[in-house]
Amino acid sequence: MKTALYWEKEKDSIRCQLCPHLCLIADGKAGRCRERKNVDGTLYAMNYGVITSVGLDPIEKKPLYHFMPGSTVLSYGSRGCNLSCSFCQNYRISMEPNPPHIIMPPDEAIQKVKDENLSSIAFTYNEPTVWYEFVLETARLAKEHQIRTVCVTNGFINKEPLEELLGCMDAFNIDLKSYSDAFYRKICGGRLGPVLNAIKLIHGKAHIEITTLVVENENDDLEELEELFKWIASIDTGIALHLSRYFPSYKMTNPATKIETLIEAKRLAEKHLDNVYIGNVPGIR
């Protein structure tokens, strides 16, 4: 564990300022993400250096289709998340308390990229925002070694920490889970507004692509999806959008999204955006 960034004392507790939940954390307790804990009046990042997953991935798997295409990226994941999506596809590391892991300091994480003869690193699998101190240090070190950096995130992060991250992150894939604040609140335990703000802040400062997981009977209303497409287009029609197929996972038992829904959504999206892709459907892009 390591002393956390972005918090202040508030009476007998600590206010975490890393993400829009702004948890007020009493002594001995942790925030909603479970990875930032008040120990005797200091906030600690409990998952610093905790690695639950390491993988060599095609960059297109992140998914990023317009950043270093055809390359392989060394991907790292930790544990914890600041959202609680019912359909989480990685719940074993994002939601369960103590998944198997190794401890690895930032310099080792970078050395492994060099040993593999690769030139990029991704923070992914769980939510990088709640792994902030490790991600920031490792990304800064990556820059010193001319290694490109990728962050695959839900975008639920406050402005100041995101600005600091932008100083050392080359590319983002942001999950824009829906254009409905009610969906964010009910299904994900979050809010829409901060995610839109994060996208606006990143645009123009780093490469950005967006992923929307289309969940059968939840966020697959085509009129609502078109609002989301229009909003992205209002920022930049060139932002690549990945419409990803949902499969039942974690607490969500709805059937897998119909492929016809994804095809129709893509057709609608292409009225507004230049680069739209279907994901999670073999043979269709």
Note whether 195 binds ligand SF4 by CB under 6 A: no
Beta bridge partners of 42: 39
CB of 243 to ligand SF4, least distance (A): 28
Selected from 31, 49, 77, 106, the binder of ligand SF4 by CB under 6 A is 31
Note whether 49 binds ligand SF4 by CB under 6 A: no
Q: HEC profile for the chain?
A: CEECCCEEEECCEEEECCCCCCCEECCCCECCCCCEEEECCEEEECCCCEECEEEEEEHHHCCCCCCCCCCEEEEEECCCCCCCCCCCCCHHHHCCCCCCCEECCHHHHHHHHHHCCCCEEEECCCCHHHHHHHHHHHHHHHHHCCCEEEEEECCCCCHHHHHHHHCCCCEEEEECCCCCHHHHHHHHCCCHHHHHHHHHHHECCEEEEEEEEECCCCCCCHHHHHHHHHHHHHHCCCCEEEEEECCCECCECCCCCCHHHHHHHHHHHCCCCCCEEEECCCCCC
Note whether 106 binds ligand SF4 by CB under 6 A: no
Note whether 174 binds ligand SF4 by CB under 6 A: no
Selected from 38, 47, 82, 173, the binder of ligand SF4 by CB under 6 A is 82
Stretch that binds ligand SF4, among 31-39, 134-142, 186-194, 206-214 (CB under 6 A): 31-39
Selected from 88, 104, 130, 262, the binder of ligand SF4 by CB under 6 A is 130
Note whether 222 binds ligand SF4 by CB under 6 A: no
Note whether 136 binds ligand SF4 by CB under 6 A: no
Total residues contacting ligand SF4 by CB under 6 A comes to: 12
Stretch that binds ligand SF4, among 18-26, 51-59, 172-180, 222-230 (CB under 6 A): 18-26
Asked if residue 122 lies in contact with residue 110, where contact means CB atoms within 8 angstroms, the answer is: no
Note whether 169 binds ligand SF4 by CB under 6 A: no
Note whether 199 binds ligand SF4 by CB under 6 A: no
Stretch that binds ligand SF4, among 25-33, 48-56, 179-187, 210-218 (CB under 6 A): 25-33
Stretch that binds ligand SF4, among 16-24, 114-122, 173-181, 212-220 (CB under 6 A): 16-24
**Closest residue by Cα to residue 35 from 86, 78, 91:** 78
Residue 23 vs 110, nearer CB to ligand SF4: 23
Residue 131 vs 246, nearer CB to ligand SF4: 131
CB of 118 to ligand SF4, least distance (A): 29
